[in-house]
Amino acid sequence: MSGRYAPSPSGPLHLGNLRTALLAWLQARLANQPLILRMEDLDLPRVKPGSREQILKDLRWLGLDWDEGPDIGGPSAPYEQSARNPQYQQVFQQLLDNDLVYPCYCSRKDIQQAASAPHAHEYGPIYPGTCRDPARRAAIKQRHPDKTATWRYRVPRHTIEFEDRIIGHMSQSLDREVGDFVIKRADGLFAYQLAVVVDDGMMGITDVVRGADLLDSTARQIELFETLGYPVPSFWHVPLMLNDTGTRLSKRDGADSLDIWKQQGKSPEVVLGLLAFTVGLIDEERAISKLELVQGLTLDLLRDKLINRL
C-alpha cells in the first residue's frame, strides 16, 4: 500500500500544486501508508532547469516528507521518469508483441479532416482509427514520406467504469469518447499515459491523489493497468485551486509560487493554514502545524471534506 505525489518540473509549484501535494501527503499519513515522490520529467522539452531542486525545497519548507524519492532513493528507484526509459521500452515491446499498438502517420490535419465527430474530446478530435488499417496506413505514409510514426494504443470496444474516491462513479467509453491514444510520440518520447501507469504499477501505488484535471485520463490509464496486469489503484481526484476570476491556476500564467509568500515573511504554518482552509479542511484561515492538521482529521473525514468541496 502506498501513495505518491508526482510533480512535473516544468516550473515552480504554484499554490494549487502545493495544495494537491498536501492532500496526497495527508492521505498517505492518515492511511498509515508510505508516500513516494516521483519527478515527472518525461517531457524533456518542458523541463525547466533548477525546477526539480526548487520543488523538493518548497515541499520540504512546507514540512512535507516522503519515504522514497529522487533525493533519498528507495527500493523502487529511479524516481525520475527521465531515468526510466528501459522500463517503458520493455512494456512498449510487450504491447507491440501483442499487437496492441500500431504506428500512425496521420498529420493533425489528416485527423481533423477524417474525424466525423470533431467534438467530444477535451484534447481535440477523437482519432478516427485511419492507421489501424494497414492499407490506409500505407497510403497515409506515402503522403508523408518523411514523417516519423507516433504509436497508438488500439482501444477495445469497452466502457471503463470506476469509483473515484472523491468524485464518485465515473464511466467513459474507450472507443466512443477516447479513441486510439498515443503511447509513444514521434519524437521518440513515451507518452505520459504509458509512463504514469508503468511507474504506478511497478511502484505498487494503491492510492493516486492528484488534481481533477487528470480525471479525463483515468479511463485510459485503467485500461493500461488492466492490460499490463497491474492492480488498479484507487483514484482521489481533488479540486483544483481557482484564481479570483474562477479559472484554474497555471504555471504558464506565472501563478503564485511559494517565493512570493516567503518574501512576505510568511511561515510554513501560515501557508499550510491557507491551503487547508481553501479546500475546507479547517473552518477559519489561521496558521496551523502539520501535526495539528493530521490530528484533527481521519481518512474518512478528509474524504468527506473534499467531497463537500465539489
Catalytic residues: 251
What is the residue whose three cell numbers read 526548487? 54
**Interface with ligand GLU includes 70 (CB under 6 A)?**
no
Among 3, 6, 130, 178, binds ligand GLU (CB under 6 A): 6
Task: Tell which residue, 8, 23, 14, has the closest CA to residue 165.
Answer: 23
124: alpha, beta or left? (left if phi > 0; alpha if psi -120 to 50): left
With binding defined as CB under 6 A, does residue 214 bind ligand GLU? yes
Per CB under 6 A, the segment of 1-9, 90-98, 167-175, 250-258 that binds ligand GLU is: 1-9
CA distance 138 to 102: 12
- The dihedrals phi and psi of 133, each to the nearest 5 degrees, come to -90, 115
Site string for ligand GLU, 183-202 (x = CB under 6 A): -------------x------
Q: Would you say 150 or 221 has its CB closer to ligand GLU? A: 221
Query: Please, which residue, 3 or 129, has the CB nearer to ligand GLU?
Result: 3
CB of 233 to ligand GLU, least distance (A): 10
Contact in structure between 2 and 206 (CB atoms under 8 Å)? yes
Site map (CB under 6 A) of ligand GLU, residues 253-282, x = contact: ------------------------------
Q: Does 24 bind ligand GLU (CB under 6 A)?
A: no
Min CB(120)–ligand GLU separation in Å = 22
Q: Which DSSP symbol is given to 249?
A: P
- Stretch in the footprint of ligand GLU (CB under 6 A) among 3-11, 104-112, 156-164, 284-292: 3-11
215 in contact with ligand GLU (CB under 6 A): no
Q: Which stretch binds ligand GLU (CB under 6 A): 2-10, 127-135, 178-186, 295-303?
A: 2-10
Q: Of the two residues 67 and 292, which places its CB atom closer to ligand GLU in the complex? A: 67
Cβ distance 293 to 26 under 8 Å? yes
Query: How many residues comprise the chain?
Result: 310
- Decide if residue 41 touches ligand GLU (CB under 6 A): no
- Give every CB contact of residue 45 below 8 A, 6+ residues apart in sequence: none
Please return the burial class of 103, using the count of CB atoms within 10 Å of its CB with bins 0-12, 13-18 and 19+: middle
- Candidates 11, 12, 33, 40; binder of ligand GLU (CB under 6 A) is 40
3-state secondary structure 167-226: CEEEEEEHHHHHECEEEECCCCCECHHHHHHHHHHHCCCCEEEEEHHHHHHHHHHHHHHH
CB of residue 52 to ligand GLU, shortest distance in Å: 12
CA atoms of 58 and 275, how far apart (whole Å): 14
- Shortest separation between residue 49's beta carbon and ligand GLU, angstroms: 17
Site residues for ligand GLU per CB under 6 A: 6-8, 40, 196, 210, 214
